[in-house]
Amino acid sequence: MGYFGYLAYYNWSYLIFMLPCIIFSLIVQGYMNSTFKKYSGIRNSRNLTGAQAAQRVLMQHGVTGVRIERIAGNFTDHFDPRTNVIRLSEPVYDSNSIAAVGVACHEAGHAVQHAEGYLPNKIRSIILPAANIGSKLSWIFIIAGLVASALQPLLYIGIILFSAAVLFTIATLPVEFNASSRALKCIKATGMLSDAEYTGAKRTLQAAAMTYVASAATAVAQLLRLLMIANSRRD
């Protein structure tokens, strides 16, 4: 394949594989932002804050030794298994909104997963070191392999490294969905929210989950695109 033919193929492969994923990701991001904004503006009838809701999930599952801390920023909520700390963003920690309860319970769900040794969570942790290396180094090898034909073996090394990062995004999906499932079951079992409020929390967590689906879809599409480019260069 000549240079101009390869360039055209490269551009068309981007349109075929990546553009739909980018559009999908933008739609999902917009939906998540609007859903979170909507239910962040509605106070729950129990007047529970995000921090209190997370604590209730831990108590319901008999999980102890987990701290709940405030962290700056928006959408920065996470559970850190290294320090056993749930960190809730400022719009969640002290907020008594429906969205805050949903998000906080989700993060507490991750803490419960860690305490119970949830298998998919362990698998994701095993993949994490390779994924970190892959996300940092893969494109160095990929670009080098694309620029110079003599360095084409580096392209395949880069693709292998990138595959580790893709595998991590896929392994993340069951972990995130399960954390939301645990959160919603606990919300319903403990009566933290009314039925209408529960629906709002569920929609908030479903919208957030779709961002992980979009991320995984984009990563898989990029990997397929790289494999097609590598195959075309070999031919």
Rounded Cα distance, 71 and 91, in Å: 10
Counting Cα atoms < 13 Å in the Cβ hemisphere of 213 gives: 13
For residue 94, give every residue at least 6 positions away whose Cβ sits within 8 Å of its Cβ, in sequence order, or none.
49, 50, 51, 70
Distance CA 147, CA 128 (A): 29
| Catalytic residue flag (residue 176) | no
Residue 69, helix vs strand vs coil: strand
The catalytic position among 107, 116, 176, 197 is 107
Spatial distance between the Cα atoms of 11 and 171, rounded to a whole number of angstroms? 30
- Could you tell me the end-to-end alpha-carbon distance of the chain, in angstroms, rounded to an integer? 7
**Phi, psi of 117, rounded to the nearest 5 degrees:** 65, 40
* One-letter amino acid for residue 30 of the chain: G
Q: List, as one string, the DSSP characters of 4-51.
A: HHHHHHHHHHIIIIIHHHHHHHHHHHHHHHHHHHHHHTSB-TT---HH
> What is residue 186's DSSP assignment?
H
Place of tokens 């195959």: 231
Catalytic sites, residue numbers? 107
